[in-house]
Amino acid sequence: MLLGKGESILKLDKKRIVFLLGIIISGVCSWLFIRNVEWSSLNRAFSEAKYVYILPTIVIIFLSHYVRAERWSCLLAPVKKVSIANLFSATVIGFMANNVLPARVGEIIKPILIGKKENIRMSTSIATVVMERVFDILSMIVLASAVLLLLPTDLPQKKLGDGSRSTKITTNERRIIDGRVADGIVPLATREGNKIDMSTIKQLKRWSILFACLGVFAIMFLFLLSIYPEKVSAITKKLLFFLPHHLSEKLTGLIDSFISGLQIFDDKRQILWIGILSLIIWLLNAAGFYVLAYAFDIGLTFTGACFVNICLALAIALPQAPGYIGVFHIATEKTLRIFGIGMSSSQSYAILLWAVSVIPVTLAGFLFLWREHMSLLTITKQNETALE
């Protein structure tokens, strides 16, 4: 249904407000990041970096997107068998659009592309993307629960020497022994002499119980929704009475889209497989972060990489300028600082991680768009038409 003139103006104003808010947030975050940069230390960090780790990181990132395409194929399978190549192309184009356009429009552009190319109903295509987001949120909750439980509650003790000595390490010794905590969970410090922020880690661990409960609740809700869709949907809608009308309607629409997506699966084991693929996607993202850490020898462990991944996912959900400028950088730096990684190391890693995560995918997205004989302007207009 076409929007009225008044509704169009209101929608345009909301878009402008969100866009301006995003620019402000990115600007503030960029200033917070840049103001503490020690340019000489940053230059030294980049001059000493091992750039050989960039290529495997990029490979892992694209492998993650390939698994996303595989998951999307599973979601669309009951409706139509779509080639992984087409889904991979649409996925990368969607990420490219998120990188260069405001308001994360890539989330809408990619189902539009597949819907038109494969002659799939737009509502069905968008419903599968809603399901993707729900599975992503569920996977993030599960991963966050595990990561927070694995974080150490205290600095462990480490024996020195050839094994015959049992001397406990001192404060200074803790800073230099391999730059790591003994159990391998998080690095103790870099050569810049920073300590792990144990008080913050202890506070984070308190949230692990809440995340675990949320994970159990989400899994139970998903299970009940797949068996008793109408009953669970009706109860859920009643529980949203306290929310503003527009927000309640939006959440109700998401739930209905998710239910319609779930009901196309005759074999409920397929839903379990989609959940496993979702976890693999998150673990692959963390693996890319972990591998790139070797470029600066910052000693980031896989658990720490998972935590950085979670914090970044939460940060980039905020309104911000295209390309996640500023927000991506400050979120990465602040997360690494919790683990005792020094300022220059954190900042250089944040800059390189942003470049490796954004630039290759953006270039690949434009390449796939060119292969589809389309332009950025074309898909933007298609997105606006679909929203109307």
Q: What is the 3-state secondary structure (H, E, C) of the chain?
A: CCCCHHHHHHHHHHHHHHHHHHHHHHHHHHHHHHCCCCHHHHHHHHHCCCHHHHHHHHHHHHHHHHHHHHHHHHHHCCCCCCCHHHHHHHHHHHHHHHHHCHHHCHHHHHHHHHHHHCCCCHHHHHHHHHHHHHHHHHHHHHHHHHHHHHCCCCCCCCCCCCCCCCCCCCHHHHHHCCCCCCCCCCCCCCCCCCCCCHHHHHHHHHHHHHHHHHHHHHHHHHHHHHHCHHHHHHHHHHHCCCCCHHHHHHHHHHHHHHHHHHCCCCCCHHHHHHHHHHHHHHHHHHHHHHHHHCCCCCCCCHHHHHHHHHHHHHHCCCCCCHHHCCHHHHHHHHHHHHCCCCHHHHHHHHHHHHHHHHHHHHHHHHHHHHHCCCCHHHHHHHHHHHHC
Of 70, 100, 102, the C-alpha closest to 87 is 70
Locus of tokens 């970044």: 312
Looking at residue 26, what is its pLDDT?
A: 92
Rounded Cα distance between 280 and 66, Å, is: 11
Residue 259 tokens, joined: 């239910």
Residue 352 tokens, joined: 């390189």
Say how many domains are in the chain: 1
Say if CB 41 and CB 339 are below 8 A apart: no
Rounded Cα distance between 95 and 69, Å, is: 12
Rounded Cα distance between 85 and 75, Å, is: 15
Rounded Cα distance between 277 and 70, Å, is: 8
* Cα 22 versus chain centre, distance: 18
Looking at residue 103, what is its pLDDT?
A: 74
Given a cut of 50, the residues of the chain with pLDDT beneath it are 1-10, 155-191, 193
Looking at residue 266, what is its pLDDT?
A: 65
Looking at residue 153, what is its pLDDT?
A: 61
Range of the domain at 147: 5-387
Please enumerate in sequence order all residues whose Cβ is within 8 A of that of 61, keeping only pairs 6 or more positions apart, or say none.
285, 288, 356, 357, 360, 361
